[in-house]
């Protein structure tokens, strides 16, 4: 599995097919999610090879066959962004297509203005090319986050995310002692009517939101260390659910007013998924000094 950047601005993706017998159409359309326009370009420009040979579009692709796909700039127009500071990147994993990093608290995933530097800019500087956001973490939240290193892999990873095939576990320090040590909360989340920054549990207009909470440890100070597993991915989902239960997260500036924590005590400590091009199971852990003292 590799990416080759060509002198004319195109790039070639090469990998061994991990899929059992599929047609070329099924491979491109269903497995790799390549848009129709780009599939047309691959066909008319003869930019698809199997085992270094041009093939008939009705041919089948066997597991282990070497697939080569070449994309021109008109297929995926390049979009340059300002590079940030590569030294700010704590890399957990990378290959030719993906990079997973441990985001520090207080850092935005991406900027809201064209020249605003955020983690995306720092990761792009670390990689040496423009990267792409797959999912986000709140600015106040730390932990594992994935970026795509090329536009080819982006829709494939987006589908994994939409189908809940990218698992994410968080640690949270919550106020109070939670009596139910292992519970699944299914409460819809919608926008706050008066504060655009906030979300609320909204049974009429909210979107489905499901989180599993498991208490790992309780403290004499009246706090609980909780593992939170997302079953859906709504904005502020963990923060809203814990606040609704009466156990807001320590240091949460939106849902725990008056909390004395130095930071929002929420950390994405584990991320796991099956790589869509190799079918390798990947599980990554992100450390946090803020949470190490509270682990059981």
Provide the residue ranges of all domains of the chain, joining segments of one domain with +. Answer: 2-75, 169-268
Tell me the pLDDT band of 295, cut-offs 50, 70 and 90.
low
How far, CA to CA in Å, does 42 sit from each of 52, 57, 71, 114, 201?
Answer: 15, 10, 8, 32, 47
CATH fold of the domain at 2-75: 3.10.290
Query: Whole-prediction pTM value?
Result: 0.90
Average pLDDT, the chain: 92
CATH fold of the domain at 169-268: Pseudouridine synthase (3.30.2350)
Is residue 241 a contact partner of residue 230, using CB atoms and an 8 Å limit?
A: no
Ranking 61-75, 189-203, 211-225, 251-265 by mean pLDDT, the lowest is 251-265
Q: What is the pLDDT of residue 293?
A: 67
What is the percentage of the chain residues whose pLDDT exceeds 70? 98
With DSSP H G I counted as helix, E B as strand and the rest as coil, what are the percentages for the chain, rounded to 5?
A: 15, 35, 50
Q: What is the pLDDT of residue 294?
A: 63
Query: Would you call 138 a catalytic residue per the annotation?
Result: yes
Distance from C-alpha of 256 to C-alpha of 250, rounded to nearest angstrom = 7
Which one from 75, 138, 169, 252 is the annotated catalytic residue?
138
Pairing label, strands 142-148, 266-274:
parallel
């Amino acid at each position: 599995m590799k990416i080759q950047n060509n002198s004319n601005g195109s790039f070639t993706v090469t990998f061994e097919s991990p899929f059992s017998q599929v047609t070329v159409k099924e491979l491109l359309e269903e497995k790799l999610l390549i848009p129709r326009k780009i599939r047309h370009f691959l066909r008319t420009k003869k930019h698809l090879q199997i085992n270094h040979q041009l093939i008939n579009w009705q041919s089948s692709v066997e597991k282990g066959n070497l697939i080569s796909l070449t994309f021109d700039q008109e297929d995926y127009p390049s979009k340059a962004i300002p590079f940030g500071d590569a030294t700010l990147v704590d890399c957990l994993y990378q290959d030719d297509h993906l990079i997973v990093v441990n985001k520090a608290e207080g850092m935005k995933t991406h900027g809201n203005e064209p020249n605003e530097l955020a983690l995306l800019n720092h990761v792009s500087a670390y990689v040496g090319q423009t990267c792409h956001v797959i999912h986000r973490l709140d600015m106040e939240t730390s932990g594992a986050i994935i970026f795509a290193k090329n536009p080819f892999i982006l829709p494939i990873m987006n589908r994994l995310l939409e189908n809940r095939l990218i698992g994410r576990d968080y640690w949270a320090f919550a106020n109070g002692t939670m009596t139910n040590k292992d519970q699944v909360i299914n409460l819809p989340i919608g926008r706050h009517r008066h504060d655009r920054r906030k979300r609320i549990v909204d049974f009429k207009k909210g979107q489905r939101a499901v989180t599993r909470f498991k208490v790992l440890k309780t403290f004499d100070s009246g706090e609980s260390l909780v593992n939170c597993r997302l079953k859906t991915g709504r904005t502020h989902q963990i923060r809203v659910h814990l606040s609704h239960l009466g156990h807001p997260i320590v240091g949460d500036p939106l849902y725990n007013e008056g909390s004395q924590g130095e930071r929002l005590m929420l950390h994405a400590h584990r991320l796991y998924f099956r790589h869509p091009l190799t079918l390798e199971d990947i599980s990554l852990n992100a450390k946090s000094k803020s949470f190490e003292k509270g682990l059981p």
